Chain A
Amino acid sequence: MSKQGTPRVAQASSLRPGRGAQAGSLRYTDRAALEKTWAHAPGLLGWLSETDHKKIGLRYIITALCFFTIAGIEAALMRLQLSRPENTLLNPDLYNQIFTMHGTTMMFLFAVPVMEGMAIYFVPLMVGTRNVAFPKLNAFGYFIYLAGGIFLYTMFVLHAGPDAGWFAYVPLSGPQFDPGKRADTWAQMITFTEISALSVAIEISVTAFKQRAVGMSLNRIPLFVWSMIVISFMIIFAMPAVMLDSGFLCLDREVSTHFFNRSEGGDPIFYQHMFWFFGHPEVYIIFIPALGYVSSILTVFTRRKIFGYPVMVASLVFTAFMAFGLWVHHMFATGLPQLGQSFFTAASMMIAIPTGAQIFNWIVTIWTGRLTIRTPVLYVLGWFAVFIIGGLSGIILASVPLDVQVHDTYFVVAHFHYVLIGGALFPLFGAFYFWFPKWTGRMYGEKLGQLSFWLLLIGFNLTFFPMHILGLEGMPRRVYTYQQGLGWGPLNATASIGAGIIALSVLTTVINFFVNARSGAFAGANPWNADTLEWSVSSPPPPYNYVYPPVVSGPNALWDAAPDQPYVVGLRTDKREVLVTQVLDAQPSHREELPGHSLAPFLLAIATTIGLAGSIFFAWWFPIGLGLVGLVMIYWFWPRKEDVIDHLVEEQREILREEPAV
């Protein structure tokens, strides 16, 4: 057993000059060795066996944006159908499938995965390490997410796509009223995406707690990373509820269990309780990372650290806890006892307090900072304007008597689009613009970027503000058409026009990114003179992130760094090694080797897909799938030759060391 050593802080010789110019022959050989050890593999096999968190993070983001586009087209179809009363563009069956697919795709295949992708890409960079804690799990998480999306859309094309709404209430989605495989597809797709989300939650939380740069104590963690830690915990506690709920739905449909069947002791309301116990935290899982982006962007563009860091962290944590205590506000019309409902009213209102605290802290940050207006900042200011409206309509929905009037109407549709698009999408797009130079090494076009913001702001409000009024005028949700004389036509038409403007905005952004990724101005490592660690490496970062892992002296790593800021040496360059540090104060603990390329994640995803997708047709595919999973796991954990050889060599060394010198 090797001796447990303590790290040394030593004055380096002139072989290792200062921070900025880490040139020198030693660094050069280290870098060359790292390039070799951490190299990407070429070709299809290389792609399938990739474990670099940056590549996987970008896969999540790009795949999520593809689903976003598809769901956007679905929304466009819905808006076209609703632009006139008694329109016949879509028949009711098709409309019901399309609105279900729109919601399902946006919530499960876009919103959560895109936030996960941002976490996967940036958390290791921001904490100063080389990869996530479990690279193979990371690769598997992406493949299983992709498989879930492909599964859902394949079934949709085969006329077996879900049609009971994105939360598929029973009995409408149950065996009696939803024949065929539609609801089973929905329920099983959930399993795919939740497995993916849970994998990411484990990776991000372990990486953020155990692999932080030396000196990055808990009070120096960037707020972006805090937001991702918080949602990791939320995912871990919320997802099992929907896994079980959708599992029960499948069981009721496939093998005649009675979880939701009143006549045999089940309860349809139980489905709602379990779904929303997941569903409410889910929307905060989507929203909280956006708060991280706002902090990241405002720090850089106000040239100061965010005001009130401890309050900001506490607010994130409180919001996460409280999010688990609100779910019944989705069920105020079901006739539950009044006293219980009032508790949920109180909780649903009080959750505005931590968010309010964050808003006030950001305003003070701007007030006392030196603001430069660029596209990312515009999107953040747009967030303020739009999200707060959504939050306030949420306060209305929290009140039981008000909610029972506007529940399940277009008022709610307006509310959740204000908080999801305003609250999550605006900061997300701001984040895309902000980190575009880091991803591509080039700058986007500023004027076009600002145009895309104004188009989104105008288009969004034109689409969704009228919906508040439509709800108050009696228009329920999920209707494929409405009658002539009700007077809903003009506002619906306005909303449909606004949707077109939103599409234009997104198109503008896509063009901006496509063109400038190839031919934009070169950006360099840190075009914004930003503060977090990812800005200290090249754009895009090398596969190993840091030649020498950084050491951090304050909450804004690069701004608080001394001219001779220390860095970490001594990690092996012939193996993929990372430094593991202690949880509270990030002092060095030990070194660990991370796996490199492997086909096991891809194979595991195939085995899991066979089990999950097959089982909705024939229950025995589930145990067969489990068996295949078992086989792949044997391959996953098969001892590696290199490890065995290393171990034997080390054993020999021990024996030699203990022998008396001859």
Chain B
Amino acid sequence: MTARVIDVSELPEGTTDSRALIWWGNLGMMVIEGTMFAMAIATYLYLRTVNIDWPPSTVQPPVLFWPTLDLAILIVSVAPVLWADLAAKREEKTPVLIGLPAAVLAGLVILFCRYRILTNLGYKWSDHAYGSVIWVIFGLHLMHVIAATCECGLVAFYCAVWPVTKKKYLDVRCTAVYWYFVVITWLPFYFIVYIVPWMQRKGPS
């Protein structure tokens, strides 16, 4: 009795698209972190329901320049990263070596913006619950901005110094998706930290 075989030796060794295992692992990690962010937002909303004064009356209305600049840079930084991402799918090196460093640059500017914002908030995490939750929101997201910036820098470094293998192109793509995640998760936070208090000040008293 002869056996039948399925010969997979002709199948590609590794891919640079969403069929790859690490692609899904990266996605899983982002779902976890996204859930953490959702819980942080839930914290904000819950504390809002148990406080009459929210934000507390001692909190000045936020100055919008640096946060909006920060948001603009985040959104604009998607472009070079997307360019690098699509190039990596085609296993093309040059856009990767431009797009990722551009993201690093954007990350550094964002860090500077955040530094300005946090030092001018006017309240500390230990002043009141509002301060605690806002600082924690910033802290959580900041950790991801730093991680994503370092990751872009590291992957760009690897691609510059060593020959870029298919695996490394896949890493570029995962790093790019992580960058989109960092940008997208800031949107609800920006809304909560800046738009909502602004709306409340303008709304009926």
Contacts and interface: CB of A to CB of B under 8 A. Distances in A.
Interface string A122-139: 000000000001100100
Contact of A241 (B1, B22, B39): B39
Contacts of B32: 198, 202, 236, 239-240
Interface of A: 1-14, 16-19, 22, 133-134, 137, 198, 201-203, 205-206, 209-211, 214, 236-237, 239-241, 243-244, 248, 251-252, 255-259, 261, 264-267, 270, 273-274, 548, 551, 563-572, 577, 579-580, 588-593, 626, 630, 633-634, 637, 639, 643-644, 646-648, 651
A588 B11 contact: yes
A637 B35 contact: no
Contacts of B188: none
Nearest to B49: A267
A244 B40 contact: yes
Given A240-B35, A590-B14, A644-B162, A568 B6 contact: yes
B1 A639 contact: no
Interface in B112-165: 125-133, 135-136, 143, 150, 154, 158, 162-165
Contact of B11 (A10, A17, A257, A590): A590
A347 to B, nearest CB: 19
B130 to A, nearest CB: 6
Secondary structure type dominating chain A contacts: mixed
Nearest to B154: A634
Contact of B4 (A9, A577, A592): A9
A368 B137 CA distance: 57
Given A2-B12, A2-B13, A266 B3 contact: no
Contacts of A273: 46
A569 B7 contact: yes
A8 B10 contact: yes
Contacts of A570: 6-11
Nearest to B126: A256
A648 B164 CA distance: 10
Contacts of A209: 24
B3 A8 contact: no
Given A206-B24, A564-B3, A258 B8 contact: no
B72 interface: no
A119 B67 CA distance: 45
B36 interface: yes
Contact of A16 (B3, B12, B28, B91): B3
Given A267-B50, A589-B11, A626-B143, 4 more contacts: A237-B35, A241-B35, A248-B132, A251-B125
Contacts of A257: 125-126, 129, 131-132, 135-136
Contacts of A237: 35
Given A206-B24, A258-B126, A634-B154, A5 B2 contact: no
B131 to A, nearest CB: 8
A17 B43 contact: no
Contacts of B202: none
A11 B4 CA distance: 5
B51 interface: yes
Contacts of B14: 590-593
Contacts of A10: 4-5, 7
A265 B56 contact: yes
A588 B19 CA distance: 11
B61 interface: no
A7 B10 contact: yes
Contact of B128 (A14, A201, A258, A567): A258
B181 to A, nearest CB: 15
B79 to A, nearest CB: 25
A637 B171 contact: yes
Contacts of B9: 5, 569-571
Contacts of B163: 644, 647-648, 651
Contacts of B132: 248, 251-252, 257-259, 266
